[in-house]
Structure 1
Amino acid sequence: MGTLLLQSQTQTPLVDTIAGLLGLDGLLGAVVGGLLGAFLIANVMLVTTAVAGPWAKRKITASFTDRIAVNRIGPFGLLIIVADAVRLMSKELIVPDGVDRPAWDLAPIILPFSALMGFAVIPMGSGVHLADPEAGLVYAFAVASIASLGLVMAGYSSNNKYSLLGGLRSVAQNIAYEIPLIVTAASVVIFTGSLQMSEIVAVQAEPLVTVAGITIPQWFAFVNPFAFVLFLAANLAEVGRNPFDTPEAPTEIVGGYQTEYSSIYFVLFYLGEFIHIFLGGALIATLFLGGPAGPGPEALGFVWFTIKIWAVFLFTQWCRSAVPRVRIDQLIDIGWKGMLVLSFANLVLTAIIVGVIV
């Protein structure tokens, strides 16, 4: 098995590559390279989300529930992406009386941008890595958590009690599961001894065991499968997929924090939700599945990374179709009394094992 690494300390980051192609250096090269690199990564994720939201989600759900999904507009129904975009953005933007602007206007913008910012430190393979700070993992969690601010702003500013309750439920859920998510990620940091994304990927490139001539890499999903399952479950709650979609479930409190939003603002909420799903998949791939590592030449790194984040997306859609929703009280109990305790137990056990081995 060949091993793919996106970026080590000796490889040129995306910013330097773009600046070199443009013949720029110094501060100007860093600024222009950074802006163009961010624009490139953002557009890749926006295209991915555009395919996932209007089309792939419907196709996957239809397959799980034995129904026929979109298949009339364009080949394989792919033009439903364009049709949905035109339909939603052409609707009237209704602003309810008494909303608190500009908070009401800023809330739908915060959600997608908080997720897009997280991709700046994700090693995607084939040289696609915008930045590699020493505290890259902390940065990814920090910017992703800004979404909670958008949920509060949306619920509070809508001048609707149901929206407010939906926003508070969403934040309560995020807090209850974000702590186990971060604590579980800390167990990976104990193994690697670094918060730098490229280092976390590099450690997983080491061989774990060789069986019948086949080398199994030291992916943390193999090294610590318990942490992998915990992180996967907590991520489901963070992105609001079953069984943890209670805050915005129509059978609970109308549409939750987004009840009073329409047109392009609703599109931004929808977009933010799916970008967060793929950011969660990117973190899972980086922390537990070797990042862009996979068989074949190094140039296939981005392909393997894309396959992994789509696999996580497929898992979330399977849960959406197959796993029943829990009540809000059960949701909170699972987070604080179950996931939190298990994540700290995993952290302590990991520290003990690493201490004994080292």
Structure 2
Amino acid sequence: MTGALLQSQTPLVDTIANLLGIDGTLGAIVASLIGAFLIANLLLVQTAVAGPWAKRKITAAFTDRIAVNRVGPFGLLVIVADAVRLLSKELIVPDGVDRPAWDLGPLIIPFSALLGFAVIPMGSGIHLADPETGLVFAFAASSIASLGLVMMGYASNNKYSLLGGLRAVASNIAYEIPLIVTAASVVIFTGSLQMSTIVAEQTTNTLAVVGGVAIPQWFAFVNPFAFVLFVVANLAEVGRNPFDVPEAPTEIVAGYQTEYSSVYFVLIYLGEFIHIFLGGALAATLFLGGPDGPGPASLGIVWFIAKIWAFYLFTQWARSALPRLRIDQFIEIGWKGMLVLSFANLVLTAIIVGVIV
């Protein structure tokens, strides 16, 4: 698969508009809504599998236990059972909550993650929008979740929830800056913030040929140090061990989500898993060639999904294998470690690109 093939693919909106035979502004609006609906449902189906079923199966495999295996083949129907169980529970509203903020918080988290996927090229023509500032849009959309966490924390009228909200703010500030600075090193390589250009730059050339095997020019191979930094910062952003400080069940019950039940509880965890997939999508797009992989371009969506599930598997391994950091260690690593290393990587990348160019 080559960058030329990726660039020549028709965006999803144009494809849908052509199929419907609707031109002009109306066609763009209708096609955009249908495209957003299709992408959202693709992600929601994967999240439904990842949350109630895959998470338990993977954790059980890592910890040598038996996971769900009674409800349906391989326990798959636990997805339906959990959905019915959680959605049928009573929505308990504690006394003294700030109701508007308390209601909006759980809605913001999944919405922000889904919004970030609008600019992610998934291959096989599945690309909803491709603005010149696509990378900035993706980070801006995902950062909206911080607002939801803070709203849930302070609006719940619960000290544990407030602590979780404050920890979430500290987490996002300390690790989102290194995450963005590390992504900026990719922008230096490509000279563009456009997602399709970033993918195309990784797929047009071969980095090396070893034993007859062509190694693609993915930025994970070009700059593995930046890739490691991005993955670690991403792990903190999605709240997985050793960086699950905002929730910390053994310390602050469940943090910002302590007072939520029923459908709001479902929305919070739905948003959490979609954010994990968004983190994997950004890592795949910036460092792993996006939908690039062996075989024809039509397999792009398959390779893309495989990459984000690989990132999901990594987060579940971290959740099972790594102990939680203390809050002071967590903040110190972010400000004194990750931030310094990300800026060092940025300067080094600029020097290397300057010398090569």
CA contact (8 A) 1:192 1:200 kept: yes
209-218 vs 51-60, greater mean Cα deviation: 209-218
Q: Which residue of 1 aligns with 2:13?
A: 15
Query: Is 1:52 matched with 2:50?
Result: yes
Query: What is the alpha-carbon distance in structure 2 between the residues aligned to residue 11 and residue 44 of structure 1?
Result: 20
Query: Matched residues, percent identical?
Result: 82
Q: Which residue of 2 aligns with 1:196?
A: 194
Q: Which residue of 1 aligns with 2:245?
A: 246
- Which runs of structure 2 are paired with 1:137-148 in the superposition (5 Å)? 137-148=135-146
Query: What is the alpha-carbon distance in structure 2 between the residues aligned to residue 293 and residue 104 of structure 1?
Result: 42
SS in 2 for 1:54: helix
SS in 1 for 2:99: coil
Match 1:91 to one of 79, 89, 104: 89
- Which runs of structure 2 are paired with 1:86-235 in the superposition (5 Å)? 86-205=84-203, 206-235=205-234
CA contact (8 A) 2:57 2:67 kept: yes
Match 2:23 to one of 16, 22, 25: 25
Q: Which residue of 1 aligns with 2:71?
A: 73
Deviations 1:141-175 (A, max 9, x none): 00100000000100011111111111010111011
Deviations 1:122-156 (A, max 9, x none): 00011100000000000000010000000010001
Deviation at 1:221, TM superposition (A): 0.3
Query: What is the alpha-carbon distance in structure 2 between the residues aligned to residue 6 and residue 267 of structure 1?
Result: 39
SS in 2 for 1:326: coil
Query: What is the alpha-carbon distance in structure 2 between the residues aligned to residue 226 and residue 208 of structure 1?
Result: 16
Aligned residue identity for 2:12: L
Segments of structure 1 that go 5 or more residues without pairing to the other structure are none
CA contact (8 A) 1:6 1:127 kept: no
SS in 1 for 2:215: strand
Query: Is 1:317 matched with 2:316?
Result: yes
Deviation at 1:274, TM superposition (A): 0.3
Structure-2 change in CA distance of 1:82 and 1:4 (3 Å): farther
SS in 1 for 2:335: helix
CA contact (8 A) 2:112 2:145 kept: yes
TM-score under structure 1 normalisation? 0.98
Deviation at 1:246, TM superposition (A): 1.4
Q: Which residue of 1 aligns with 2:294?
A: 295
208-217 vs 180-189, greater mean Cα deviation: 208-217
CA contact (8 A) 2:243 2:330 kept: yes
CA contact (8 A) 2:2 2:200 kept: no
Segments of structure 2 that go 5 or more residues without pairing to the other structure are none
CA contact (8 A) 1:245 1:325 kept: yes
Query: What is the alpha-carbon distance in structure 2 between the residues aligned to residue 349 and residue 168 of structure 1?
Result: 34
CA contact (8 A) 1:5 1:201 kept: no
Deviations 1:178-200 (A, max 9, x none): 00000000000000000000000
Root mean square deviation, CA, Å: 1.0
Deviations 1:281-336 (A, max 9, x none): 00000000000000001110000001000000000000000011110010000000
Aligned residue identity for 1:63: A
Query: What is the alpha-carbon distance in structure 2 between the residues aligned to residue 186 and residue 252 of structure 1?
Result: 35
CA contact (8 A) 1:114 1:143 kept: yes
CA contact (8 A) 1:122 1:197 kept: yes
SS in 1 for 2:105: helix
Deviations 1:51-83 (A, max 9, x none): 000000000000000000000100110000000
Deviations 1:3-59 (A, max 9, x none): 477741x43210010000000010011000100000000000000000000000000
Deviation at 1:214, TM superposition (A): 2.1
Deviation at 1:212, TM superposition (A): 3.0
Deviation at 1:213, TM superposition (A): 2.8
Q: Which residue of 1 aligns with 2:328?
A: 329
Aligned pairs, number:
356
CA contact (8 A) 1:292 1:301 kept: yes
Aligned residue identity for 1:116: L
Query: What is the alpha-carbon distance in structure 2 between the residues aligned to residue 314 and residue 59 of structure 1?
Result: 11
